[in-house]
Amino acid sequence: MVRLPLTPAEIERGRRLGALLRRARGSRPMLQVALDAGLSPETLRKIETGRVATPAFSTIAAIASVVGLSLDDVWAEITHDRVGATTDAPSLVAAARAS
């Protein structure tokens, strides 16, 4: 089976997902979060850096659970229209929790 190339939108969504998970992990060691989620640190690193732009739903759910994000938060963050924004932009989830 040949995998089709990712669209620019899928690549951007993967970057947003990675940035969100990285921010949510905070100062917790990548190794601990990965092990708690049942994945390898290398897999978590690839997701956080956007190299794996379309991880499996179960993988996202496991990481989100460990870092304290709801799947609704994840979905809202990665699908939000942020034209011109970079992955370094403030998290919408963090902003909502801070208020």
Beta carbons within 10 angstroms of residue 20's beta carbon:
25
CATH of the domain at 54: 1.10.260.40
Q: Is residue 53 part of a domain?
A: yes
Q: Is residue 90 part of a domain?
A: yes
Q: Is residue 24 part of a domain?
A: yes
3-class secondary structure, 42: helix
> What pLDDT, on the 0 to 100 scale, is given for residue 88?
45
Q: Tell me the pLDDT tens digit for each residue of 20-74.
A: 999 999 999 999 999 999 999 999 999 999 999 899 999 999 999 999 999 999 9
Query: 87 pLDDT exceeds 60?
Result: no
Query: Hey, what are 69's tokens?
Result: 């994000």
Cα diameter, the chain: 47
> What pLDDT, on the 0 to 100 scale, is given for residue 98?
52
Number of domains in the chain: 1
Residue pair 81/71 in contact by the 8 Å Cβ criterion: no
Range of the domain at 19: 8-98
Query: 94 pLDDT exceeds 80?
Result: no
Residue pair 78/20 in contact by the 8 Å Cβ criterion: yes
Q: Is residue 20 part of a domain?
A: yes
> What pLDDT, on the 0 to 100 scale, is given for residue 67?
96
Pairwise CA distance, residues 21 & 92, whole Å: 13
Q: Is residue 67 part of a domain?
A: yes
> What pLDDT, on the 0 to 100 scale, is given for residue 2?
85
Q: Is residue 73 part of a domain?
A: yes
Pairwise CA distance, residues 87 & 90, whole Å: 8
